[in-house]
Structure 1
C-alpha cells in the first residue's frame, strides 16, 4: 500500500520545542521544522522562512529574554496561523487569544480560565540542546495533574492531594524533582498512603506538558491538512508597535536570498556605510513624518490608492509578478509589512497633494519646487542657461 503524500510540507509548519517533547516525537506526528525553545526575536526570524503555521510549545525565560507578544502579533498580521500549548505556548496563547492566537490543551485552558496565573507553573530545569533539552525537574502543573488523578483513583484523599501540591509549591523549580517532592510530603502522608502511591505511580505518571505539546502540534497539522485559510486576526483595537519594537524587529530580522538567510543587521551595516546613506535616511524620515502627521489628521488611504502605490513600486523596481515573493523575502518583508510601506507612501502623497490646505496660507507646488531647486543648485543652472546668448535666426 502506497503512503499518501503529506498534504503540506515540513517548511509549512515551524514548531518551537524543547523539554516538553523530544524532537523525534514531533517529527513522527507531522511534517514540520523543529526549532529550539523560542527566545526573544525567534518568531520574527522564523517569519523569514515563510511558514503557514507556527506551533509554540517551549520558550526560554529568566536567563534569556522571552518571546515577545509583538512577535506573535506580527506573525498573525502576516497571515500565519499561530498555535500555542504545553508551556510558554500556553501562556502566550492565553494572553493573545483575543488577538487570534489559538490555544490548545488543558494547561492553556487553565490559564485562560484564570485557574493558573503564574508562569512558574510550567517552569522546569532542563538539559541543553546537546542532550535534547531533557527535563531535569518536574513542573508544578504535572504535580497538580498527578495529584488530581491520584485523588480520582482513590489513592489520595483530598487533604493528601493538597499536601502533595503544597510540598511541590514550596520547592524552587530548579530543585523540584519527584524524589524531593515525596520527601517533603512524608510527614503529611501516612505510611500506607506512600505505599499506595508507589504502587499506583509505578505504572508511570502522565506528563501533562507532553500531552498538551502533542495536542498543539496535532492541531497545527490538522489546520494545514484542511487547506483552510489562516484564522482571521481578531479586530480588537490595539496600539501599533512602539519605535523600540520596530527597531528591534528591524535589526533582529532575517532576509532570504537565494536559499540563504542574511541578518538584517548586516544589511544595515552596509547601508550605513554607503555614500548616500544620509540622503536615504532623510528621505525615509520625511516620508515617515508626513505619514505620521497624516494619521493624526485622520487620513486613511483607500484600497485603490494602496494598489496604485504598490503597482508603481513594482514597476519602478522592474520586478515581474513571478519574482515578487522572492524579492519580498530578500527585503525581509511579509505582505503585511509591504502594505504598511505602501500606506506610508500613499499618506505621503496625500499630504503633498493637499499641502496648500494643510496649513494657513500653506506652500504651493511652485514654491516647493523653487525651494528645493535653489537648495540643490538647480535654480542657478536653469537661470544661467536662460541667460546665455541665444543664436540669432538667419534671414532668408
Structure 2
C-alpha cells in the first residue's frame, strides 16, 4: 500500500493505524503535499494542516499532485476545507464537515481550527473546534441535558470567542455569566466527559476507511480534466519546497533540491542535458496517463537492494520510479517513428547540422570513388570482432557492449547487419582519410 496521511490533533496516529496502514505525517504545511507527491504514492490524505504559525498547504501543490496521477482525499479539518475548495478539480472530500463547506453552510476557517501541542506531545489539542462544539451541543439537547434555547445560547458564546480560547470550561463560564441557566450549564459540564462528540474524528475515520477500501479494490492512477500551468510563483514554490533524500540525514535537515541542482550546474553542460531529459520525461509520463498506459511487467533490477540504498529509495519509491520508466519507454516507442522527421530540425537548432552534412557527403564521395559504397569485411581486411574492437575501444574508448543487438537497436539501426554495414563504411572512410592525409603531407 502506498498511502500518505497528514494527521495531528484530530486523531492520534496510533488510532489511525488501527484503521489504515499508511505513512503518517504531521499536520500539513506549505510544501508538504508537494514533497509527499514527489515520492509517487497512490493516495495522499489530508486530515490536519496548519492554519497559522506555518504557511498553509497550497491549493496548487494539491492540483500538481493530482496531475501526477495521485488521488488526494480530504476530511475533518484543513483537509475538508481544501477538498471543498478543490472539489470541482477532483479532490475527494469525505464527511459532513466537507459537505457543509462544499455546500456553503460552513464558510469560516475557525469552524475546524484548534491550537495543539507539538509532535513531542502527539499534537494533543488544547482547544475545541467549533464544529465539534456544535455537534456536542446537539447531542446534549437530544439527551435532555440542555434545552434548545440554552444550547443555542452556548453555541453563540463559543462562536464569538477567538478559536484558541474555545475550551468547554471557559465557554461554560461565559455562558453562565451571560444568563444561561447555571443549573443547565452545570449539568452539561457533568455530562460532558461521557457525552462529548467529535464530528472531526468521525469524518477522519470515515476517510481512512474509504481509502482502505479503495486501495484494497485496486486504485488506478488519478486522471484530471484540467491543464496544470507552471507559473513563475509555482516554480519558485517547488524550488523552495523540494528536497532530496540523503540516506541517514536527519529529517530536520533536508538537502534541498536546489542544492543538488547547484552541484549539477557546476559540471557545465551536464545540467543542460539533464534539464532536457527531465522535460522530455515529464512530457512522456504525462502523455502515458492520457493514453491510458498500464504497466503490467515491472523490470527486474540486478543487485536490487544495493541499488536502492545507493539511490536512497524504499520499495514504494522504487515502484514509482519503475512505473515512470516503463511509461517513458512506452511513449518513446510510440514516438520513435514520428520523431525521425524532427532529427534534422534538432540538428539545425543545435548547430550540428552543417558539420554532419559535410562529413556525410564527403564519406559518400570518397567511398564511391573507391568502389566501396557497400564494403564487406573482406574489403576492410577485418573479422567482425576486430571491427567491433576498432570502433568501441579505439574510436569511442569503451568496451564492446555485452548486449550488442540491444545496443544497436537503441541507436536506431534496424538490425545488427545494418549496424555492421555502417561500421564498415566508417572504417573504410577513416582509413582512406588517413591515407589521403599521409600522401598530402
Structure-2 change in CA distance of 1:155 and 1:256 (3 Å): same
* Aligned counterpart, 2:383: none
Find out whether 1:369 has 2:353 as its counterpart.
yes
C-alpha distance 278-372 of structure 1, shift in aligned 2 (>3 A): farther
Aligned pairs for 1:1-396 within 5 A: 8=1, 12-186=2-176, 187-224=178-215, 226-230=216-220, 233=222, 235-255=224-244, 265-266=255-256, 268-273=258-263, 277-282=267-272, 321-323=299-301, 329=317, 369-370=353-354, 390-392=437-439
Further displaced range: 332-341 or 75-84: 332-341
Provide the rounded CA distance (Å) in 1 between the counterparts of 2:103 and 2:137: 20
Distance 1:274 1:169 in 2: 54
5+ residue gaps, structure 1: 1-7, 295-299, 308-319, 374-384
| Cα distance in 2 for residues equivalent to 1:303 and 1:147 | 48
SS for the counterpart of 1:84 is strand
Cα separation, 2, equivalents of 1:129 and 1:209: 19
Contact 1:84 1:102 in 2 (8 A): yes
> 2:237 and 2:217 mapped to 1: Cα distance?
33
**Cα distance, 1:184 vs. partner?**
1.5
What's the secondary structure of 1:54's corresponding residue?
A: strand
Cα gap change, 1:334/1:243 in structure 2, threshold over 3 Å: closer, same or farther?
farther
| Counterpart position of 2:390 | none
Worse-superposed segment, 67-76 or 320-329: 320-329
Give the Cα–Cα distance (whole angstroms) in 2 for the partners of residues 337 and 247 of structure 1.
Answer: 27
Distance 1:264 1:36, change over 3 A: closer
Bigger mean CA deviation after superposition, 73-82 or 178-187: 73-82
Q: Is the 8 A contact 1:290 1:351 kept in 2?
A: no
Larger Rg: 2
d(CA) in 1 for partners of 2:289, 2:125: 51
Shift of 1:257: 7.5
Residue 14 of structure 1 aligns to a residue in which SS?
Answer: strand
CA distance in 1, matches of 2:130, 2:265: 57
- Distance in 1 of aligned mates of 2:161 and 2:197: 21
**With structure 1 as the length reference, what TM-score do the two structures score?**
0.69
